[in-house]
Amino acid sequence: MNLSIHSLIYRAAKLTVKSVLLTAVCLSSVWAEQAPNDFAFLQYANSNVEKIQKRKGEAHQFLLSTPKRISNTLNIEDAVFLAGERTDLLLKIDQLGSSQQAFYFYQALLLKQGEILYQCEQRACGSSNYWANKIFNESKLYGRDSEQYYLAGRLKSEGKNYFLSVYVVKNGRKQQYIYLRYIPEIKQALARDIVDDNKDRYQLKTWQTGVLFKDSQLKENDIAFIQQSLKEDQALKLWVLSYAALSSKQSASQLLNASQIQLKGFSEGIVDKLKVDSRRVMQKNIGPFADKPSDFSGSTWFKLYLLK
């Protein structure tokens, strides 16, 4: 009799535990479905969330340059520090997506709804090891230097302003990941001043590494920036380089002559638009002795540098 009573109590206890566990599972499913996805507007379509972290602080760092190691010390030339609640997302790209497509998605998003303050592609981003283990502290991001991308900038969505950075990479296991970091810009007047200053410095760095032009037409904002840079630094000069595509129908000498003619006309037009001393516009004819830009079908092109 006692045995049967104990048996009944044991069975009742098991049923109670099962009921509690089932209820917990159901509730967790409901909570997961009802939890607000406040980052949906930032998520690349062909990706799944692996990790979410939220952190509050006074100085969240967002890089506006490529991290480099100098004398065994990690060097970051440009960065901005913002206060508030930062959200970090680790997204895994599925088989339908790719790291390059994800990069293009975020690039287009920032260009359409905000501005890009810094970007780099592949080896120009430096060592993937630095990004994974020193910047984001996420080992899954350690991959190939030739298959990584980084973007940082401002984004406006539904009346709110955000500052964000995006790192995309294919890791050593050939898995593709996105590390997304963003923070609302609330009462960040000082930080915005810093960002604007960094933006000008980044733009100058871009011109120091060369800006490609597939024709001789400069936009008004390009002209304005060159004018401002030349005015602020009297040691700066604008270098205009002219190139010509290799052709089986023309000799190297003929191609050099063709690019020289294009160079002369382009340089004279620039001097006229900039209204500067012609001695501050330097000319260099490269002709066919350089690789043709990808996705370019023209016969001549130019590259402009701001250098001392």
The full set of domain ranges for the chain reads 40-191, 210-307
The pLDDT of residue 106 is 93
The pLDDT of residue 287 is 93
Q: Is it the case that residue 217 has pLDDT exceeding 60?
A: yes
Range with the poorest average pLDDT among 5-19, 207-221, 248-262: 5-19
Q: Which two tokens stand for residue 49?
A: 């969330």
Highest mean pLDDT among 69-83, 200-214, 257-271: 257-271
Tell me if the pTM is above 0.75. no
Q: What is the spatial distance between Cα 229 and Cα 206, in angstroms, rounded to a whole number?
A: 13
Q: Does 40-191 carry CATH code 3.40.1000?
A: yes
Percent of all residues in the chain with a pLDDT value above 70, rounded to a whole number: 79
The pLDDT of residue 63 is 92
Range with the poorest average pLDDT among 10-24, 34-48, 121-135: 10-24
Q: How confident is the model at residue 202 (pLDDT cuts 50, 70, 90)?
A: low
CB 154 within 8 A of CB 80: no
CATH number for domain 210-307, candidates 3.90.1570.10, 3.50.50.60, 3.30.1330.60, 3.40.50.300: 3.30.1330.60
pLDDT digit string, tens, across residues 2-32: 445 555 545 544 444 444 444 333 333 333 3
